[in-house]
């Protein structure tokens, strides 16, 4: 081994030395123990804190709702006891009679009934009755009677409802009161008026002071949002929360406990509306005070968690050290082996756990690895020698295979070129065959067309002969008709002459009749018979003249028509003569065409015969080219297969050569690797 290879091996040895692990297994074990221990503790502590806080808040909500129910119950007692008393008084005979007939005596009896009833109440708030017009008729305190028709509770009461009014300030006592009413009905069930009583709400203030503590307050509002009673120390004249959303929600029938800001302080607000009086009841609890006990529990839980954390850290450190020390010794031993140093002392640690098994396995690995390295060095030397010999043999075989592949490639290219040329000739032959087939079909069509033309010419000649004969017949008939018309014209002329003579005779007869009439008139009675005969003769002469005139007109019309017929027949004769000349010329042209068609027929027969000869020659040439193409394709295929086999063989030799070189490289790398271990 030269110096260059030795230096490369030393450099590789340096680069393969293991890196020191910057992370401590002891620290990792401690972190894992802490995470596994503290995470459940933290989760439990957080869950406990959240549950405790929610339970405390739910308890405060329940307490707030209980306070609301207590205040509602007290207000309902106040209102319901008053309503029950009013209902009893509404059935009192004195009250009903006073309202039906407000006489002085009835009024006095009604006042006595009111005074008697007022003694049963704990307060001295007055009671009064009023009629259907809203006028007070009697009062328990004997005070001034007023018109209350415009007050809000009057009309509902007179409509049959029992009403609890909004809170007002009593004029007589300057105290907050609510008016409770009930309708009064007679024996027939008709409403005759109403009865009402003022009820002081100061008792609610006192009751609320008993229910609240230092961090809770209760508020009662009427239907208008005015303050009825409260445990707050506020100015009742200026205190107004009627526009707040929670008041609107309560007035709409909603009942809830929510966290909100009230008068600058975060509170738990419980609100609800009483269905009977339509009053709104509110209870506020200071949020910070309510949650104070819960926060104390959270702080205690945090302290316990901190103590547990310290204890876990101490125990975890001790346990991690007992596991990490032998593992760190194993890691150090493994690092020395990885750096190529097999002269390592075995570890002597007696443990019955997995760490002890790791130590025993590491000692066995050290012994077996030494044996393997020694044997590998011997094998490496032999492998290097054999790989050199294989590389030289493979190179010689690769050169010979390349020469053979080049020769086979030339043969393959020639065979392929020959096959392509034959294929081109075959395609050209097929093109010639297609052209010959087209010529044959054209000749067949030409022969067929010439025969059809010959047939058409024969038919045309027959038609022309028939037309010529018909033309001669028409010419003869026209001459006959012309002579007949001339004879008719002569006869008509003779009739015309006779008609003129008849007309002259009628004229003369008429003159004779006129003379006879004149002579009969001269003869007198003796000539009357002759006059009658003369008159009849005159009539007959006139009729003869008229008939002669009509015959003359008809004869003149016949003469004119006869002249037109003669002129038409002369034109017809001229046309027939012209047609005869044209038919004769057409007959001559058709005879010439028939001769030409006959020549075309003979020419097409000659073309068919020559085309058949050309088709036979084409078929022979096509068979020869097909045989030649098959042989060329077989040669090209064989050459290509041989070429492919040689290329595959060449590739195989290349792969063997590469494998030999790789084997040399592997042998050197193995030698370098083995030399890494000492």
Query: For the segment 347-360, what is each residue's pLDDT rounded down to a tens digit?
Result: 676 766 666 677 77
Run of H or E including 496: helix 354-523
- Within 8 A by CB and 6+ apart from 214, the residues are 289
Mean pLDDT of 650-675: 69
Report d(CA 250, CA 281) in Å as an integer: 8
Report d(CA 633, CA 635) in Å as an integer: 5
Dihedral (Cα; 368, 371, 374, 377), 10-degree rounding: -60
Query: How many residues are given for the chain?
Result: 678
How much is the pLDDT for 418? Answer: 62
Model confidence at 127: pLDDT above 80: yes
The per-residue pLDDT of the chain, averaged, comes to 76
How much is the pLDDT for 372? Answer: 73
Mean pLDDT of 429-434: 70
Assign 15 a pLDDT band (cuts: 50, 70, 90): low
CB 130, CB 154: distance < 8 Å: yes
Model confidence at 627: pLDDT above 80: no
Question: Domains plus CATH for the chain?
Answer: 54-291 (3.30.450.20), 370-674 (1.10.287.950)
Q: Which two tokens stand for residue 559?
A: 């003469």
CB 317, CB 654: distance < 8 Å: no
What b/e sequence results for 25-64 when a residue is b if at least 16 CB atoms lie within 10 Å of its CB, and e otherwise? ebeebbeebeeebbeeeeeebeeebeebbeebbeebbebb
Assign 22 a pLDDT band (cuts: 50, 70, 90): very low
CB 653, CB 394: distance < 8 Å: yes
Q: Give the highest mean pLDDT range of 76-80, 87-91, 618-622.
A: 87-91
- Give the up-direction half-sphere exposure of residue 2: CA atoms within 13 A in the CB hemisphere: 2
Q: Which two tokens stand for residue 102?
A: 């407000």
Rounded (10°) angle between helices 528-676 and 354-523: 170
Report d(CA 411, CA 417) in Å as an integer: 10
Share of the chain above pLDDT 70, in %: 68
Mean pLDDT of 57-64: 78
How much is the pLDDT for 62? Answer: 82
Model confidence at 116: pLDDT above 80: yes
CB 363, CB 346: distance < 8 Å: yes
Run of H or E including 229: strand 227-230
Q: How many helices (H) and strands (E) does the chain have?
A: 11, 10
How much is the pLDDT for 129? Answer: 94
Predicted TM-score (pTM) of the model is 0.41
Mean pLDDT of 487-514: 75
Mean pLDDT of 110-135: 87
Collapsing DSSP to helix, strand or coil, 153 comes out as coil
Mean pLDDT of 295-324: 75
How much is the pLDDT for 638? Answer: 66
Report d(CA 576, CA 568) in Å as an integer: 12
Report d(CA 299, CA 501) in Å as an integer: 168
Q: Which two tokens stand for residue 461?
A: 């000649």
Model confidence at 473: pLDDT above 80: no
- Within 8 A by CB and 6+ apart from 376, the residues are 670, 674
The distance in angstroms from the start CA to the end CA of the chain is 17
What's phi and psi for 628, nearest 5 deg? -65, -40
Collapsing DSSP to helix, strand or coil, 510 comes out as helix
- Within 8 A by CB and 6+ apart from 290, the residues are 56, 57, 60, 215, 268
Share of the chain above pLDDT 90, in %: 9
Rg of the chain on CA atoms, in Å: 74
Lowest-confidence segment of 201-215, 416-430, 448-462 by average pLDDT: 416-430
Angle at 390 between CA 386 and CA 394, to 5 degrees: 175
Model confidence at 425: pLDDT above 70: no
CB 179, CB 197: distance < 8 Å: yes
- Which residue from 397, 388, 402, 335 is spatially nearest to 362, judged by alpha carbons? 335
Report d(CA 201, CA 195) in Å as an integer: 19
How much is the pLDDT for 224? Answer: 84
Site of tokens 């110096």: 3
Report d(CA 196, CA 190) in Å as an integer: 18
How much is the pLDDT for 654? Answer: 72
399-405: list long-range contacts, CB under 8 Å, 24+ apart: 401/646, 401/649, 401/650, 401/653, 402/650, 404/646, 405/643, 405/646, 405/647, 405/649, 405/650
Model confidence at 203: pLDDT above 50: yes
Assign 132 a pLDDT band (cuts: 50, 70, 90): very high
Q: Which two tokens stand for residue 471?
A: 């033309």
Q: Give the highest mean pLDDT range of 180-194, 443-457, 514-528, 574-588.
A: 180-194
What b/e sequence results for 251-271 when a residue is b if at least 16 CB atoms lie within 10 Å of its CB, and e otherwise? beeeeebeeeebeeeebbbbb
Extended strands (E) in 511-636:
none
As beta bridge partners, residue 197 has 127, 180
Mean pLDDT of 16-41: 65
**DSSP letters of 254-296?**
--EEEEEEETTEEEEEEEEE-TTT--EEEEEEEHHHHTHHHHH
Lowest-confidence segment of 22-36, 81-95, 139-153 by average pLDDT: 22-36
Q: Which two tokens stand for residue 29?
A: 């074990």
Q: Which two tokens stand for residue 325?
A: 């020390």
Run of H or E including 526: none
């Amino acid at each position: 081994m030269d110096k260059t290879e030795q230096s490369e091996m030393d450099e590789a040895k340096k680069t393969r030395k293991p890196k020191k692990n910057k992370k401590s297994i002891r620290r990792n074990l401690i972190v894992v123990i802490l995470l596994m221990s503290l995470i459940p503790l933290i989760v439990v502590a957080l869950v406990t804190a959240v549950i405790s806080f929610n339970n405390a808040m739910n308890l405060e909500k329940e307490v707030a709702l209980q306070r609301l129910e207590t205040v509602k119950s007290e207000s309902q007692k106040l209102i319901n006891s008053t309503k029950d008393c009013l209902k009893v008084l509404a059935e009192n005979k004195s009250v009903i009679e006073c309202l039906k007939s407000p006489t002085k005596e009835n009024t006095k009896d009604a006042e006595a009934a009111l005074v008697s009833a007022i003694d049963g109440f704990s307060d001295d708030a007055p009671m009064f009755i009023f009629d259907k017009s809203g006028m007070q008729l009697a009062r328990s305190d004997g005070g001034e009677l007023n018109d209350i028709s415009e007050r809000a509770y009057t009309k509902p009461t007179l409509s049959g409802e029992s009403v609890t009014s909004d809170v007002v300030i009593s004029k007589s006592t300057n105290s907050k009161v609510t008016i409770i009413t009930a309708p009064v009905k007679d024996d027939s069930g008709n409403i005759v008026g109403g009865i009402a009583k003022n009820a002081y709400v100061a008792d609610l203030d006192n009751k609320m002071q008993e229910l609240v503590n230092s961090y809770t307050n209760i508020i009662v509002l009427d239907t208008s949002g005015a303050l009825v009673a409260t445990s707050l120390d506020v100015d009742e004249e200026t205190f107004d929360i009627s526009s707040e959303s929670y008041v609107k929600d309560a007035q709409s029938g909603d009942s809830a406990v929510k966290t909100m800001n009230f008068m600058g302080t975060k509170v738990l607000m419980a609100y609800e509306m009483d269905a009977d009086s339509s009053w709104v009841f509110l209870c506020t609890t200071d949020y910070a005070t309510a949650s104070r006990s819960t926060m104390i529990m959270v702080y205690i839980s945090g302290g316990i968690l901190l103590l547990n954390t310290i204890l876990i850290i101490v125990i975890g450190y001790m346990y991690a050290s007992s596991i990490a020390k032998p593992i760190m010794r194993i890691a150090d031993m493994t690092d020395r082996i990885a750096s190529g140093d097999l002269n390592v002392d075995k570890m002597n640690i007696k443990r019955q756990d997995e760490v002890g098994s790791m130590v025993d396995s590491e000692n066995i690995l050290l012994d077996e690895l030494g044996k393997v390295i020694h044997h590998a060095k011997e094998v490496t030397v032999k492998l290097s020698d054999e790989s050199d010999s294989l590389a030289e043999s493979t190179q010689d075989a690769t050169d010979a295979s390349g020469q053979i592949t080049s020769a086979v490639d030339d043969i393959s290219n020639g065979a392929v070129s020959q096959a392509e040329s034959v294929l081109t000739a075959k395609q050209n032959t097929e093109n010639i065959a297609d052209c010959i087939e087209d010529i044959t079909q054209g000749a067949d069509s030409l022969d067929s067309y010439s025969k059809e033309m010959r047939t058409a010419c024969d038919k045309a000649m027959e038609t022309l002969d028939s037309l010529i004969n018909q033309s001669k017949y028409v010419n003869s008939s026209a001459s006959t008709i012309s002579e007949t018309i001339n004879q008719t014209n002569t006869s008509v002329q003779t009739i015309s002459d006779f008609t003129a003579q008849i007309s002259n005779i009628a004229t003369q007869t008429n003159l004779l009749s006129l003379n006879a009439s004149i002579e009969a008139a001269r003869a007198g009675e003796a000539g009357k018979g002759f006059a009658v005969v003369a008159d009849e003769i005159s009539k007959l002469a006139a009729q003869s003249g008229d008939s002669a005139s009509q015959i003359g007109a008809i004869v003149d019309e016949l003469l004119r028509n006869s002249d037109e017929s003669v002129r038409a027949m002369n034109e017809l004769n001229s046309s027939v003569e012209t047609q005869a000349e044209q038919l004769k010329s057409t007959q001559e042209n058709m005879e010439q065409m028939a001769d030409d068609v006959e020549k075309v027929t003979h020419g097409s027969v000659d073309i068919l015969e020559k085309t058949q000869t050309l088709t036979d020659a084409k078929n022979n040439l096509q068979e020869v080219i097909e045989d030649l193409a098959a042989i060329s394709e077989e040669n090209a295929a064989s050459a290509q297969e041989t070429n492919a086999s040689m290329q595959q063989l060449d590739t195989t030799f290349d792969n063997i050569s590469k494998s030999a070189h790789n084997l040399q490289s592997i042998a050197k790398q193995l030698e370098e690797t083995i030399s890494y271990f000492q």
